[in-house]
Structures are given as structure tokens and as C-alpha cells.
Amino acid sequence: MIIKRSKKILALFSAIRLIPHIILFNIHNKRSIIKYEVNRWLEIKNIMINTQLGFIYLMTYYPEFRNLFYVRIGFVSNLIKWLCPRMNILFIRMRSDQIGKGLFIQNGYATGINAKSIGKDCWINQRVTIGYTNDDDCPTIGNNVTINVGAVVLGKVYMGDNSCIGANTVIVKNVPENCTVVGVPAYIIKKNGIKVKEKL
């Protein structure tokens, strides 16, 4: 995607307020994970700029990325997030070490993310709820999992690698690897690339 000149100029002005963020981006002990995520977001969004400029661009125009960045840098974010506010309707209630690298949040509107762990390269859409059913039970999300708009994943369940949860699906049971799941109650419609109709 070719970025409009006006957006480039605004991002350059935004870089002034982002100076502390840029320094942390380059020196923080999580910098390799953050750089991986910058490049993944740029690739998904089809934005063809380098990683350093990409970080500024994402921080300027994608509040979902800001929230993830603030989780990655931890407590120090409290000192700088007022300069570039986070998205206040996206809640990531997890520590950085519980989230595998490459998390992509397509739209963070009214989304709550609270899992035991999330694997590498996961994709979460808007109005998703991932959370507890009591004080101890919360989901474990595998690698390369996609959770579509309005889905709810609750309790001590495991979502297998490469699984896909359809829009508005409610998950309260384990989801096997390489499966697409839809419905309430949820059932499997695709397994290992083959169409099926199976109960969870």
C-alpha cells in the first residue's frame, strides 16, 4: 500500500511525541519481539516501509498496536502512555511473557483478552471476549489461532494450533488443532482442511 503524503507528514510530526517510545523500541529487552510484531502488522496491512518508520506509523494510526506495545514494555509504559494514549476499549490483561510474539489485533473495539497464555502469530478481531469463568480457570490459546468478531472463549479450555473460531461462536470446550469451529454450542465444520460436522 502506498501511504498518502499527508499521512507520512503527520506520522513525522507524531514522531516528536514518540521519542521516548522510539528509544524504548530500540533498547528494551523485548525489542526483538516488538520488531517482529511491527513487521507482521506492516505485512498484514500491506504497508511497505522499514521497521523504524513502521513503528512510528503504527503507533500513530493503530491504537490496538499501542496497547500491545505498552503490554510489551511493562511498567515503564505508565510513564509515557499519556503522550500517545492507548485504546481504552481494548483490554489486554496479561503480562508480556504470557503472549507469544506476533499477536495481531485487527480491531480492538470492545475486546477483552485474558488468557493463561497465547501462542505465536495469533489474530484477534473486535468484540472478542477471552476470559475466566472463576478465579482460576482461563483459556490457553495455541499458535496461529484466529478468533473472529464477537467470539467468546471462556474457562479452562485449550485452543489448538492453527484453529479458527468463527464469528459469534462460544467456546467452553477444548478445540483440536487445525479445526474451524462455529456456532452456539460450538461444533467443528473443518478439520485438517476437510469439511466435517462434528461436536466438540
Residue 76 shares a structural domain with residue 104 = no
Q: Is-above-0.85 flag for pTM?
A: yes
Q: Quick check: 173 pLDDT over 90?
A: yes
pLDDT in tens, 126-172: 999 999 999 889 999 999 999 999 999 999 999 999 999 999 999 99
CATH number, domain of 150, equals: 2.160.10.10
Domain containing 74 equals 1-87
Residue 48 shares a structural domain with residue 63 = yes
pLDDT in tens, 72-110: 999 999 999 999 999 999 999 999 999 999 999 999 999
Residue 163 shares a structural domain with residue 198 = yes
In three-state form (DSSP H/G/I as H, E/B as E, the rest C), the secondary structure along the chain is CCCCHHHHHHHHHHHHHCHHHHHHHHHCCCHHHHHHHHHHHHHHHCCCCCHHHHHHHHHHHCHHHHHHHHHHHHHHHHHHCCCCCCCCCEEECCCHHHECCCCEECCCCCEEECCCEECCCCEECCCCEEECCCCCCCCEECCCCEECCCCEEECCCEECCCCEECCCCEECCCECCCEEEECCCCEEEEECCEEEEEEC
Indicate the number of domains in the chain.
Answer: 2
pLDDT in tens, 8-65: 788 888 999 999 999 999 999 999 999 999 999 999 999 999 999 999 999 999 999 9
